[in-house]
Amino acid sequence: MKLIRARRNQLVFDIGRREKRLLDEILGLYPLVPPAHYRLSKNVPAGQFVEHQRLLEESLAAQRQENRKNVKSLLDEPGRYQATPTGFLLKVTRPETEWLLQVLNDVRVGSWIALGSPDTEQGEKILLTEETAPQVRSMEVAGAFEAVFLDALTGRAPG
């Protein structure tokens, strides 16, 4: 998948058939991060922020609902992907790229949490077994798509 055109409000990507299947599959996993993962504060006792914590959870639930709707629309919308001899052209606006990033990162972080939140920076290893393989795969694939979208947004994508 690579950026082939960046207009003021639209990004056009060339995406292969297999890549499209992968992207659809990853987007279909959303959401993966458990709601309990989000805490408003580390140090303040939970009792002090009960109402605020509830608001955070409601806000994130609404956001997830919205993102789920967007994902469904992206996957189902006819004309979103334009067929080419080698694959497809994917057209997304910049705001759509923002929520795509949110969705992809949710899948990445959710997969990492499912793997036991290994602290790889402190030397913990991610064990690749038959059981962990799906999470490792979704984490890495989501990260790879994120990188493509980030490069496109920041204008660093190879043209």
Partner 1 sequence: MLAFKCIWTNEQGKNVVRVQVPPPAPVFALRVAAWQASFRRLGSAGVPAALDSCARTFYLPSMAATATPEVRPDIRREERTDSRTDLEPGYLVICWNDPVNLMDYVTHVFQVVFGWPRQKAEVHMLQVHNEGKSVLARESLEKAEFYVHQLQRYTLHATMERDQG
Q: Which stretch binds partner 1 (CB under 8 A): 4-12, 15-23, 74-82, 109-117?
A: 109-117
- 39 counts as binding partner 1 under rule CB under 8 A: yes
Among 4, 6, 114, 153, the residue binding partner 1 under the rule CB under 8 A is 153
Are 34 and 57 contacting, i.e. CB atoms less than 8 angstroms apart?
no
* Nearest Cα residue to 35 out of 51, 58, 52: 58
Collect all residues with Cβ–Cβ distance below 8 Å to 112 and sequence separation of at least 6.
118, 135, 139
> 87 in helix, strand or coil?
strand
| Interaction pattern, residues 4-33, with partner 1; x per rule: CB under 8 A | -----------------------------x
Indicate whether 132 belongs to the interface with partner 1 (CB under 8 A). Answer: no
| 3-state helix, strand and coil shares in percent for the chain, rounded to the nearest 5 | 60, 15, 30
Interface ranges with partner 1 (CB under 8 A): 33, 38-44, 52, 55-56, 59-60, 63, 98, 101-102, 105-106, 108-109, 112, 117-122, 139, 143, 146-147, 150-151, 153-154
